[in-house]
Amino acid sequence: MRILFHYENTPGRVGALSQAWPAAQIERATDRPTLVMLAHPHCPCTAASVGELAQIMARLQGRVAAYVLFIKPKGAGRDWDDTSLRRSADAIPGVKVVFDLDGVKARRFGAETSGHTLLFSVDGRLLFSGGITASRGHAGDNAGESAIVALVNNQTPARTQTLVFGCALANRNETGPTALCLK
């Protein structure tokens, strides 16, 4: 039990985050904030994050542009990213699903863990960075979701950074909780 509890509550890695919108070949909205979630289509932990994203989008009703960037390794087959997770993200009104060949865009944003969510202002400044679940694979009220909703509503959130719980976006032959997720 202790090992499972530790695993559920061990956050993933965060890379060197860009404090401004990077050159990522996706278009930032200029009339509202832009949200970007970086995800691995085979990460079971990220299903909760996509569910939370659906709630955020329903609450904000078009006041935020949103993308989910799904990592696709070079050489992966055509159907590699045809997962229920990708289909769930694709079904959220107002969310654009983008494929990120070999994680190039994820690296530009500085994300290393599936479910990492970023919110950028109209002028491209990073407003929020982190996860939108309280622990690995668990949906429900959390500081990340509250922060994003507050920021889009021009309120001051309690936090602008949260921990990210999910699988590693790239296989770095590592050991530990993030490596276990996809094995």
CATH 3.30.1490.20 for domain 2-181, yes or no, is no
Q: In this model, does residue 80 exceed pLDDT 50?
A: yes
Q: Has this prediction a pTM greater than 0.75?
A: yes
Tens of pLDDT, residue by residue over 15-70, are: 666 777 887 778 999 999 999 999 999 988 899 999 999 999 999 999 999 999 99
Instruction: List the domain boundaries for the chain.
Output: 2-181
DSSP 68-134: EEEEE-TT--TTTT--HHHHHHHTSTTEEEEEEETTHHHHHHTB-BTTEEEEE-TTSBEEEEE-SSS
Report the run of H or E that residue 60 belongs to, with start and end.
Answer: helix 46-60
Query: What tokens were used for 72?
Result: 């696709």
Buried b (16+ CB within 10 A) or exposed e, 96-122: ebeebeebebbbbbbbbbbbbbbbbbe
Query: What tokens were used for 85?
Result: 């997770």
